[in-house]
Amino acid sequence: QKKKLSKLKKTPAITQDGVEIKLLANIELPEDTAHAMDAGASGVGLFRSEFLFMERSGHEHKLPTEDEQFAAYKAAVTGMKGRPVTIRTLDVGADKPLEVSDHQILNPALGLRAIRYCLSEPQLFMTQLRAILRASAFGPVKMLIPMLAHSMEIEQSLALITQAKAELSAEGIAFDAAIPVGAMIEIPAAALSLPMFVKKLDFLSIGTNDLIQYTLAIDRADHEVAHLYDDLHPAILQLMQMIVSTADKAEIPVSICGGMAGDIRLTRLLIAMGYRELSMPAALLPEIKQAVLNTRLENLQAPLKRILRSFDPLQIRELLAAMEQAG
Ligand code: PEP
Ligand code: MG
């Protein structure tokens, strides 16, 4: 079985009726690009840059310097040998605490995390933006901003990126002036106000881990409520369908980089909804590719309609099983 899967490495993920699904890898450190390449990923869909900022005990500086970050981002870019690398800006807070942060946080999941933290520490953010831009001179890089929900946050982020570009230009340092900038859609408010995002950004990527957490009000790290963390909750399915339909109409690319993208139970459902780009841990990529290769999309439209019309969790599961049979 393993051998067969590794043979799939060079085969593109195309459904039986000829629709290509881009399968990308999630990475945490530049070294992970080796696994991504090995799994046949068409790029990195999510580089969780916060891992460079956490667990700094062995390092000289408490936070990575611009040069240290640049070296890491560049290593990821060269490691992917011309395939695109989506670098997410710092997503600290909640389940990913920063050692130097001295903020008193009442409710970490709802507090000063991710882009909110970065906008409150513009100097720290600027260091990262400059490092990512510098890496974009060495191969295709996209920049992804986590936890956006407010128009003001989009504008402030874009203004800081513009400022970082101006600084680098003035210093004669190379970068990709047309670097695509995208938003993580992982707060229900963002999913419900996509038109706010589509005009200002180049692409969207859905963080289903947080989208589920915030939609269902279930702490994703709390074992006592883990049984209620349900990616098949009708609210989640409605949101996921709404996001891809709205993005398609607005002609803005949308991918999924949260856990749903690497869940083989959901592959057919997601591509039936219209998703064409899935980013996941590299180890899951071969089996997801196999599922894509075994799927005929045109057979899934009727089962999908039934699933989206159902608000009965048990029936949704039965219909999903029927979708597996539908091919
Ligand atoms: C997500 O929220 O789904 C996501 C991809 O980001 P993280 O898991 O790092 O919060
Ligand atoms: Mg997230």
Query: For residue range 164-209, what is the model confidence (pLDDT) as tens digits?
Result: 999 999 999 999 999 999 999 999 999 999 999 999 999 999 999 9
Phi, psi of 211, deg, nearest 5: -60, -40
321: confidence class by pLDDT, cuts 50, 70, 90: very high
> Is the pLDDT score of 29 beyond 70?
yes
pLDDT, tens digit, 9 for 90 and up, residues 255-265: 999 999 999 99
Beta bridge partners of 48: 88
* 267-305 pLDDT tens trace: 999 999 999 999 999 999 999 999 999 999 999 999 999
Interval 68-93: pLDDT, tens:
999 999 999 999 999 999 999 999 97
Mutate to test the pocket of ligand 1, among 54, 96, 145, 257 (most ligand atoms within 8 A of CB): 257
Residues labelled as active-site residues: 257
Closest ligand 1 atom to Cα of 186: 2
User: Could you tell me the CA-to-CA distances from 168 to 9, 66, 132 in Å, in that order?
Assistant: 38, 12, 11
DSSP 255-314: EE-SGGGG-TTTHHHHHHHT--EEEEEGGGHHHHHHHHHT--GGGTHHHHHHHHH---HH
Q: Ligand 1 centroid vs 101 CA: distance in angstroms?
A: 20
Calpha distance 222→220 (Å, rounded): 6
For residue 69 and ligand 1, the question of a CB distance below 6 A is answered with no
Q: How far is the CA of 44 from the centre of ligand 2 (A)?
A: 16
pTM of the model: 0.96
Say whether 142 sits in a helix, a strand or coil.
Answer: strand
**Is position 220 annotated in a ligand binding site?**
yes
**ipTM > 0.90?**
yes
For ligand 1, is residue 183 a contact (CB within 6 Å)? no
Query: Residues 6 or more apart from 28 whose CB is under 8 A from it?
Result: 47, 48, 51
Nearest CA to ligand 1 atom 4: 207
